[in-house]
Amino acid sequence: MALSESEKIEFEEVVSRFLSADSPEAFRAATDYLRSLVPFRHFATALIPIEPSGLNMDLEWAFSSYPPDFVQAYLENHHHLMDLAVLENFRPEQFGQVRRWSDIYQLVEDEPDRYPAETMRMHYQFLEFVAQWGILADGYTMGYKGFHAGVGKELGSIFSIADDLEFSERNQALLDQLRPHIHQGLVHVFLR
């Protein structure tokens, strides 16, 4: 992926903003600045403790540009345990990849035994829930995993962008390079 000189400068600025973020507002500003490199409308991010059995029931922290009532319902109903974009992100063999939601949904359709019937039933309920809000769209989800000494456990982060998004190898490669910096920004801001 070849970047123009101006894109290289923007990329370095995005990295700098995520790594120097010291408040939720600064993290949001870094995310807003990311739009200059990879345009999108909505974002959502969370830190999730990783248990030996898989994802924790509770999110450690979540931050989003979606409507507050939607986010509250998502968190209260533990929708991260029904959202295939999240579940696939934290599968050991998939972890750390930038994944397009439509590719995830197609993979699950192609491999009907990938998840138990109950998980799929809950996922379809989740899709109905997001459709009620009129925000179901295609997007990218990316994650990162690391041990956080301050909380004494392994944490995974997830960062999703959606809507008004161009799906291209360039954007996917840029997001892949940004993953560790976004994770560090999340941990620095929300788990100090």
What is the CB neighbour count within 10 angstroms for residue 119?
15
What pLDDT sits at residue 186? Answer: 86
122 is written with which tokens? Answer: 């809950």
What number of residues does the chain have?
192
Containing 146, the helix (H) or strand (E) segment is strand 139-148
DSSP state of 123: H
What pLDDT sits at residue 1? Answer: 64
Check if the beta carbon of residue 140 is closer than 8 Å to that of residue 160: yes
DSSP state of 77: T
What pLDDT sits at residue 175? Answer: 93
Model pLDDT for residues 123-173, shown as the tens digit of each residue: 888 888 888 888 766 899 998 877 666 667 777 788 999 988 889 999 999
What pLDDT sits at residue 158? Answer: 87
Residues of the chain predicted below pLDDT 70:
1, 52-61, 94, 136-137, 147-151, 192
Buried b (16+ CB within 10 A) or exposed e, 179-189: bbbbbbbbbbb
Helices and strands in the chain, H and E counts: 7, 6
DSSP labels, 18-35: HHH--SHHHHHHHHHHHT
What pLDDT sits at residue 71? Answer: 87
Pairwise CA distance, residues 97 & 131, whole Å: 26
Check if the beta carbon of residue 186 is closer than 8 Å to that of residue 42: no
What are the Cα distances from residue 18, in Å, to 24, 29, 31, 44, 65? 11, 9, 8, 15, 17
What pLDDT sits at residue 56? Answer: 63
